[in-house]
Chain A
Amino acid sequence: MAKITFDGIEVEVEDGTTILQAARKIGGSVVPPAMCYYTPLKGSGGKCRVCLVKVTQGSAKDPRPMPKLVASCITPVQDGMVVENTTNEDVMNARKGIVEMLLINHPLDCPICDQAGECDLQDLSYEHGVSATRYEEERRTFNKVDLGPYIQLHMTRCILCYRCVYTADQITPNRVHGVLGRGDAAEIGTYIENVIDNDFSGNVIDVCPVGALTDKTWRFKNRVWFTKPMDAHRDCPTCSGKVTLWTRGEEVLRVTARKDQYNEVEEFICNTCRFDKKETKDWTIEGPRHINRNSVISVNHYELPVLNVPIVPNLPSSTKKNLPQA
């Protein structure tokens, strides 16, 4: 066991735990954000650099501070380590700088992006970004890549976190997509024109922190904050069958894996559950899913199952009246 002090809070964790996981054990606002690190994926992390923290004391044995800011998601704790995150000005400035870097080539097309409302980058830029941009050059764009009937790749929005690459490596056979090119011309793609076709391919949509990989069966159907998340399960021969249904009235608009407050999936699900079972009769509904994230989808908190209450898909008449005349 190792005892570390994170932002002045003491926490005891197993040896070999990363600083980020130790911070998550504390929870709350001290947890550094993570865009590329994903607990279920081995080898992920270290790339986006938004989780940088300052280690002011390396360990009890060697109290020297670490010379540079370190990526908390890949740095293991040492007993007696002292780490500063939100209490350190350098860390906050560096994070601000990195969020700016992530955004300079991002299209910021949130109004037409399906990920809006549950986007890690959106949350991150609300918290650490600045409202104006200093970037006046042309933004980088990519052509759309066709990945088959279920997944839409919108490379322009990608932040190259490599999560989808690790997912394909670790939970599906024969990865066909990867990172092509170098530097800011690097892109996710298949070489040459190939379809991602296996039973678990849909999970790359869940792990994507931005709207680069979206579900073609859900695209432009609705906004995520208008839908009700419901925990449900079914007897699935390929996966655990434990999912979250995103419903509107009786209609199941989307099926995803169950995600925790850090947007990490609890269990990966198969494509049959995700893309083909879009009727409430396919599922045993357990009840509403409580979304505990600092995001716009949390505004729809409700505690009682409301599945049987008929919801009119259009706006209620009282609201209609108050709309300004066109």
Chain B
Amino acid sequence: MGLKILTEHINVPGIETLEVYRKHGGYRSVEKALKTMSPDEVVEEVKTSGLRGRGGAGFPTGMKWSFLAKPEGVPRYLVCNADESEPGTFKDRVFMEKNPHALIEGMITSSYALGANTSYIYIRGELMFVLRILEKAIAEAYAAGLLGKNILGSGYDLDLHVAPGGGAYICGEETALLESLEGKRGNPRNKPPFPAVKGLFASPTVVNNVESIASVPWIVNNGGAEYAKIGIGRSTGTKLISASGNINKPGVYEIELGVPVEEFIYSDEYCGGIWKGKQLKAVVPGGSSVPILPANLILKTAAGEDRLMSYESLSDGGFVSGSMLGSGAFIVFDEDQCIVRNTWNYARFYHHESCGQCSPCREGTGWMEKVLHRIEHGHGHQQDIDLLVSVAKQIEGNTICPLGDAAAWPVASAIRHFRDEFEWHIKHPKEATLPGAVYRGQLATIEA
């Protein structure tokens, strides 16, 4: 078994209560940080740890914290992004549901480091039951003097609020999240100014993923240098992976970064191999927005090295032969899955979730979805494939927020790696639209 930092006590009965959580070493980091460390020392530890944002972009958390502007007389805010809604991602939900105090502990320690006296957890609207769990835990923390005025007699005050979203994927983008938290329509803002300068209520704000914040207590307790020893290269620490798709054991796994992808898919400790012993066809390694990779490229890089579960290794080869770790949503497809149908499904999601503010994304996502719908339902033309590539290119990089890129990448990568499958759909509309019809021509080349 690998090292467990976030999920060590997750299955202890009653861990969601303060009493049991404290029995297992909970809130030690709050005591240590507030009583023995200065805020800057906490930031320094996080910097040393090399912890990278777990929400998808992988930006170093310590660096993000050090960018926070600190003007006199202006409040600062820490906002936890719990608006996890990317298809395939469910790690934060499980974590908050099972162990709410771990997130609250992270929020207190991190808020102290940033000098924030009010912090928010922005949670996805669909997760009302998790919100209630969190609220219960927060009430317990208030009663125990871990939140509120003068925490543990240190003179530091913190108020923690949970705010539910309305269920829009776009509100997971940090500036749209802040707009939504302010009570406005969740449209992403133009950047600059960045949230670190002008965020929530026009004050300096840090927005972090649940998992990033929950990693902070361990770093404070054991030191950043100790955390940096875990993992591989610049991918330090452990990561929660939400594995789904055609595998024997779907679920949330905590891995030490650097585990080989092959081991992750086939070992009994993790996914336990492909369902019913079928052949692996493709993997989306980091949530629906990252490029899809065929089996040969997910197990080995283009240079023939073993692909590892780390930020660097998964993006090896750029977008030509690589992908991204993203938020760690590992979606596995076996030989019976249709890539065209899956791509259409993703395109439909992004079409539905585009906020409609900037024109390339508003119009382009709908266009791609309609063309893919046509191809999947046997009405495609040969030129549609190039049309899709061209539309994806017109969206990519030209939008206000990364949703446009997220919509374009899966389409562009599916065509890059599975072009013959798209062509087969267009050339043989009758066979392709039969129930359960799948193109198998490519499997031979994948095996080789």
Using a CB–CB cutoff of 8 Å, the interface residues on chain A facing chain B are 45-50, 52, 68-69, 71, 74, 94, 97-98, 100-102, 104-105, 134-135, 137, 140, 159-160, 162, 178-179, 181-186
Are A49 and B356 closer than 8 Å at their CB atoms? no
- B41 located at the interface, meaning its Cβ lies under 8 Å from any Cβ of chain A in the complex: no
Residues of B within 8 A of A48 (CB): 358-359
Residues of A within 8 A of B387 (CB): 134
Q: Which residue of the partner chain, among B354, B356, B364, B397, contacts A179 with CB atoms under 8 Å?
A: B356
Cα(A71)–Cα(B398), bound, Å: 9
Q: Are B360 and A184 within 8 A (Cβ)? A: no
Complex contacts, B398 vs chain A, CB 8 Å: 49, 52, 68-69, 94, 97-98
A68 to B170, CA, bound (A): 21
Interface: B229 (CB within 8 A):
no
Specify which of A48, A137, A178, A181 lies most central, judged by the most chain B CB atoms within 10 Å of its CB.
Answer: A137
| 13 A–B contacts from the bound complex (CB under 8 Å) | A47-B357, A47-B400, A48-B359, A49-B358, A49-B359, A49-B399, A68-B398, A98-B394, A134-B387, A135-B367, A137-B367, A182-B355, A183-B353
Say yes or no: is B185 at the interface (Cβ < 8 Å to chain A): yes
B281 at the interface (CB under 8 A from A): no
Given A49-B398, A184-B351, A184-B354, are A101 and B190 also a contact pair (CB < 8 Å)? no
Instruction: Pick the 7 closest A-B CB pairs, nearest first.
Output: A97-B394, A186-B356, A183-B354, A46-B190, A101-B363, A137-B370, A184-B366
Contact B362 A68 (CB under 8 A): no
Q: Is the CB of A182 within 8 A of B394?
A: no
Q: Taking the nearest CB of chain A, how far is it from the CB of B183, in angstroms?
A: 14
Check A46–B400 contact: CB distance below 8 A: yes
Q: How far is the CA of A83 from the CA of B358 in the complex (A)?
A: 22
Q: In residues 357-394 of chain B, which contact A (Cβ within 8 Å)?
A: 357-360, 362-367, 370-371, 374, 387, 390, 393-394
How many angstroms from the CA of A46 to the CA of B399 in the assembled complex? 9
**Which residues from A are CB-within-8-Å of B365?**
183-184
A47 near B394 (CB under 8 angstroms)?
Answer: no
Chain B residue at smallest Cβ distance from A67: B397
The contact of B353 among A49, A102, A182, by CB within 8 Å, is: A182
In the complex, whether B352 has a CB less than 8 A from a CB of chain A is yes
With A and B bound together, what is the CA distance between A182 and B176 in angstroms? 13
B309 at the interface (CB under 8 A from A): no
Cβ-defined contact, B400 with A68, below 8 A: no
A47 vs B367: C-alpha distance in the bound complex, in angstroms? 18
Tally of B interface residues using CB under 8 Å: 31
Which of B168, B355, B359, B397 sits near A101, CB closer than 8 Å? B359
Could you say which residues of chain B place their CB within 8 Å of the CB of A137? 367, 370-371, 374
Contact partners of B168 in chain A: CB under 8 A: 182
| CA of A179 to CA of B186, assembled, Å | 11
Which residues of B come within 8 Å of A, CB atoms?
A: 168, 170, 185, 190, 351-360, 362-367, 370-371, 374, 387, 390, 393-394, 397-400
- A100→B394 contact, CB < 8 A: yes
Minimum C-beta distance from A316 to chain B (A): 44
Smallest CB separation, A67 vs chain B (Å): 8
Q: Is the CB of A101 within 8 A of B356?
A: no
A68, A98, A160, A185: the one within 8 Å of B357 (CB): A160
Give the distance in Å from the alpha carbon of A68 to the alpha carbon of B60 in the complex: 21
Residues of B within 8 A of A94 (CB): 394, 398
Q: Report the bound CA distance from A104 to B363 in whole Å.
A: 7
CB of B358 within 8 A of CB of A183, answer no
Residues on B with C-beta less than 8 A from A159 are 359
In angstroms, Cα B359 to Cα A178, docked, is 17
Given the known inter-chain contacts A46-B400, A183-B354, A184-B354, please indicate yes or no for A98 contacting B362, CB distance below 8 A: no
Task: Output the least CB separation between A69 and chain B (Å).
Answer: 6
Question: Are A101 and B354 within 8 A (Cβ)?
Answer: no
Known A-B contacts: A105-B366, A184-B351. Give 16 more (CB < 8 A). A49-B359, A49-B360, A68-B398, A94-B398, A97-B360, A98-B394, A101-B359, A102-B359, A135-B367, A159-B359, A160-B357, A182-B352, A183-B352, A183-B354, A183-B362, A185-B356
Contacts of B190 in A (CB 8 A): 45-46, 71, 74
B355 touches A68 (CB 8 A): no
Task: Give the CA-CA distance A52 to B393 in the complex, in Å.
Answer: 15
* Shortest distance between the CB of B198 and any CB in chain A (Å): 13
A102 to B363, CA, bound (A): 7
Cβ of B356 and Cβ of A182 under 8 Å apart?
A: yes
Shortest Cβ distance from B50 into chain A, in angstroms? 23
Q: Which chain B residue lies CB-closest to A160?
A: B356
Measured in the bound complex, the distance between the Cα atoms of B181 and A102 in whole Å is 30
Residue in contact with B356 in the complex, picked from A102, A104, A178, A183, CB distance below 8 Å: A183
Q: How far does the alpha carbon of A157 sit from the alpha carbon of B232 in the complex, in Å?
A: 54
Cα distance A49–B168 when bound, in Å? 23
Q: How far is the CA of A187 from the CA of B351 in the complex (A)?
A: 15
Contacts of B355 in A (CB 8 A): 182-183, 186
The answer to whether A184 touches B362 (Cβ under 8 A) is yes
A183: chain B residues at CB < 8 Å are 351-356, 362, 365-366
CB distance from B350 to the nearest CB of A (A): 9
A184 to B362, CA, bound (A): 5
How far in angstroms is the closest Cβ of chain A from B360? 5
- Using CB atoms, name the residue of chain A closest to B383: A134
A129: shortest Cβ distance to chain B, in Å? 13
Contact (Cβ within 8 A) B397 A69: yes
B185 / chain A contacts, CB cutoff of 8 Å: 178-179
List of B residues within 8 angstroms of A184 by Cβ: 351, 354, 356, 362-363, 365-366
Most buried by A among B356, B363, B366, B390: B363
Given A45-B190, A46-B400, A185-B356, decide whether A101 and B351 contact each other with a Cβ distance below 8 A: no
Minimum distance in angstroms from A93 CB to a CB of chain B:
9
What's the Cα separation between A74 and B357 when bound, in Å? 15
A52 to B366, CA, bound (A): 22
